[in-house]
Amino acid sequence: MIDSSDDERQLEDLAADGARRQMDAARVHEELASLHGALSSRHRALDAREAQLDEREQQLAAREEQLIADEALLRTLLSKEAARLQQEAKEHLDGATNAQLQRLQGAVGALRAHLKQVQTARSAWHGAAPELPSTEPPRRRPLSARPATAARPAAVATPKAAPAPAPASAPAPTRDLKLKLQQAREGANALVALWGVARWPQLAAWAGASGAELAAAQQRALPAAADALGAGASELPPAQLLCWLRFAWYASAATDAKPASPEWCRRMRTTLSRRAAAAPAAEPAALFGGGAPRAAELVGALLLLRLARRASASGSSAGGEVPDLLHAIGALRHLAAHEDARLELLRLGALPDVHPLVAFGHAAVRLPAAALLLALCADGPSADAAVGALAEPEFFRAAAAALKADGAADGGDGLAARLCVLLQRVSQRPGTRDLFALGGLRGSLVSLLHASPTDFLADNVRSILHNTRTTAGVFAPQDSPAVSVAAASPSVFTPN
């Protein structure tokens, strides 16, 4: 009996185990069937996607063949359009030139008529017959040709009349009018040529529009620009004011090598200097009143800075360069707070005019000039371009000369501290190591490291020497957290 009960229990266990296995097998079968269904759906979706991709490739191939077929037609159309634009530009320039000549001829006629009236009144006043001025010099009659009646008897008591003035080659008002008319004509012709070349670059290959001819036209038109930017500049529309200022900025770049400033340069600097001195303290850049655009204020301040710096370099000015430079730098620092002004200054290529000022002969100019460069390199979209514009030999020579000046290392926010911030920024750019050898700059930095009055200045100098070291183990930064940050990351020590 005992054996039979054990056998029954074993059979029951086997039956339960078999039932469990059948349930597990059914569950596994269901999971496999579900997985098979999902894979089948994914397979059908992939097949549909592959069909779509094949259709897309066929469409692209057809489109490419169509573009290749249309290339010859497009080239023909472009050639015809280019020829049409050239003809249109030529007709437009010819029409504008003829209209300008007609206006100038009308002005000349009016001036001649006015001159004739003035000469008639003048001759009537002196009791002589009216006559027009001659362009030939007056001819003196020989003594033998004088009439015998010229010697009158002394007994005749007649009041002596004032001697009639000898006819001159051209009265002074006429010469001034002709000079102004010539300047206006040259200015108009130069501006028309510059506008045409900027609008249609293909005109540069034509006669009268080459690089040398445009440069000569610019130099002849600069007196007209000085007149336009004179006392009535504030009344000009903003667009015309900005165009005259930009023209004067670009055209004046070619006169940097001249030993003496021309007359237009002195007149333009005098006008800008008076406007800068009259600007309110809260708006030092308002050279043309409150309604002028910011771009016009920027170019006006840059022109004043350039003309004052050249007058100081030529040594032919009557003085006043330092106040003009300080006014210009103050206006530019005020404008540098705006990102669009910094970008416009970089587009104008004005940083080379600021570089020499850090080593200017007057100490009052050097510190504001370095502060202006720091403001231009402030964080923003234009910071990288501004730092790149400092990587020029002129700036490194000027920095070397500035560090050798008396009192450069005095104070925690002095000239040396500001220049070292700029040099540290530049030292992180690749390819600038050789520039630090110009003007003995590296030796000046080493001497400055030993005589640094503040840790801030010493840390920046160590960072510069570390970034520009020539061999391993030379000028390695000290084991301090500040120097490690300066040498291993692009962060810059900046003064308060």
Domain ranges within the chain, ordered by starting residue: 105-117+173-219, 229-335, 350-496
pLDDT for 426: 92
Q: What is the pLDDT of residues 284-339, one digit of tens each?
A: 888 887 678 889 899 999 999 999 998 887 765 556 789 999 999 999 999 999 99
Rounded (10°) angle between helices 321-335 and 339-347: 120
Q: How confident is the model at residue 482 (pLDDT cuts 50, 70, 90)?
A: very low
Could you tell me the pLDDT band of residue 126, with boundaries at 50, 70 and 90? Answer: low
Burial (CB count <10 Å: 0-12, 13-18, 19+), residue 423: buried
422's CB contacts (< 8 A; 6+ apart) are: 370, 373, 374, 377, 387, 390, 399
Q: At which residue do the structure tokens 């570390």 appear?
A: 466
pLDDT bracket for residue 147 (50, 70, 90): very low
**pLDDT value, residue 367:** 92
pLDDT tens digit sequence for 262-283 = 778 888 888 888 888 888 888 8
Classify domain 350-496 at the CATH class level: mainly alpha
| Mean pLDDT, residues 22-26 taken together | 90
The reported pLDDT for the residue numbered 134 is: 43
Spatial neighbors of 454 by CB under 8 A, at least 6 apart, are: 412, 417
- On average, the pLDDT of the chain sits at 78
Q: Of 26-40, 73-87, 127-141, 352-366, give the lowest mean pLDDT range.
A: 127-141
Highest mean pLDDT of the ranges 30-34, 72-76, 143-147: 30-34
Question: Is the pLDDT higher at 185 or at 59?
Answer: 59
146: left (phi over 0), alpha (psi -120 to 50) or beta: beta
Asked if residue 123 has pLDDT above 80, the reply is: no
pLDDT, residue 355, reads: 92
In the DSSP assignment, the letter for residue 259 is: S
- How sure is the predictor about 107, in pLDDT bands with cuts at 50, 70 and 90? confident
What is the structure's pLDDT at 34? 92
Better pLDDT: 317 or 225: 225
pLDDT tens sequence across 326-377: 999 999 999 999 999 999 999 999 999 999 999 998 888 999 999 999 999 9
pLDDT of res. 209: 63
How far is 133 from 74, CA to CA, in rounded Å? 63
Residue % of the chain over a pLDDT of 90: 27
According to the model, what pLDDT value does residue 151 have? 40
Supply 454's token pair.
């503040």
Are the C-beta atoms of residues 123 and 158 closer than 8 Å to each other? no
Asked if the model's pLDDT at residue 50 lies above 80, the reply is: yes
At residue 339, the pLDDT reads: 93
Cα–Cα distance for residue pair 373/387, rounded to 1 Å: 9
Q: What is the pLDDT of residues 166-221, one digit of tens each?
A: 444 445 557 777 777 776 777 777 777 666 666 666 666 666 666 677 777 777 77
Residue 3's pLDDT is 66
Q: How far is CA 154 from the centre of its chain?
A: 78
